[in-house]
Structure 1
Amino acid sequence: MTELVAENSLVLDADLGAKAAPKLQAALLERRGHPVVIDASKVGHIGGGCLQLLLSAKLTWDSDKQGFSLVSPSQPMIQALEFTGLDTAFSQEQGA
C-alpha cells in the first residue's frame, strides 16, 4: 500500500480507495511519535476514508508536536483536498 522511502517517510499508492484505508492506518500508526513525510505524488484516486485518515494523522502529529508533511501532491490529490475543503488543513505542506 505504501512504499518506505526513508525512515518515517511514505509514498502513497495511486489508488487510495476504501480498501486501502486499513493499510494506510497501519502504516501511519507505525510511524507515530516521529516526524513523517507523506509523498502524495502518485495518488490518482483518494477516497473519503483515506482523506479522513490523513487529516486525523496530521492533527495527531500536531498534537504530539511532531512534524507531519504532505509533499508533492498529485493533481487528483489537490483536487480531492480542494473539493472537501481540506486544502487549508494541508496548505503549508502544498506550499500554498
Structure 2
Amino acid sequence: MSSDDETSKILKLPAVLDLNAANRLYEQVLAHKGSDIDVDASEVSRIGAQCIQVLLSAAQSWRFDHHSFKVVHASGVFIKTLQLLGISDEALLPGEILK
C-alpha cells in the first residue's frame, strides 16, 4: 500500500484540552472529515476526558470511512493520561507504547 502523506491533513492540538476546548476540538476534527488526518499532540500539557472522547469518536469514524486517523508526536502527558484512563486505541497511542 502506498503512503498518502501528501493528502493527510495535520491538526495541531493546543496545550490545554479541557472541557472548554471540547466543542472547538470537535469542530476542528469535523472540518477534516473525509480526508486522512494526523493529529499532532506534541504540545499537549493537559487533556480532559471530554477531549479524549472526541478523539476516540473521530478515530472510530475515520476507520469506518476507511481513512487514516492517527496521533503523531504525542506528548508524555497525552500518553500518560490515556494510559491512566485505560485507553489503548492504536490510533491514539503509537504502537511502541502499547507493547
The two structures have a TM-score, normalised by structure 2, of 0.84
Determine helix, strand or coil for the equivalent of 2:20: helix
Which contiguous aligned blocks of 4+ residues in structure 1 show a shift greater than 4 angstroms? Answer: none
- Which amino acid in the other structure matches residue 89 of structure 2? A
Separation of aligned partners in 1, 2:41 and 2:29: 14
User: Gaps (5+ residues) in structure 1?
Assistant: 1-5
Tell me whether 1:90 sits opposite 2:96 in the alignment.
no
* CA radius of gyration, larger in: 2
- Which amino acid in the other structure matches residue 62 of structure 1? R
Cα shift at 1:95:
3.2
Match of 1:45 in 2: 46
Q: Give identity over the alignment, percent.
A: 33
Separation of aligned partners in 2, 1:64 and 1:37: 15
Cα shift at 1:8:
2.2
When the two chains are superposed, the root-mean-square deviation of aligned CA atoms in Å is: 1.8
Deviations for 1:75-96, whole angstroms, at most 9, x for unmatched residues?
Answer: 100101101111x203675132
Separation of aligned partners in 2, 1:92 and 1:45: 15
The two structures have a TM-score, normalised by structure 1, of 0.87
User: Gaps (5+ residues) in structure 2?
Assistant: 1-6
Determine helix, strand or coil for the equivalent of 1:57: helix
Taking a change above 3 Å as real, the CA distance of residues 91 and 7 of structure 1, as seen in their structure-2 partners, is closer
Aligned length: 90
Taking a change above 3 Å as real, the CA distance of residues 60 and 91 of structure 1, as seen in their structure-2 partners, is closer
- Which amino acid in the other structure matches residue 59 of structure 1? Q
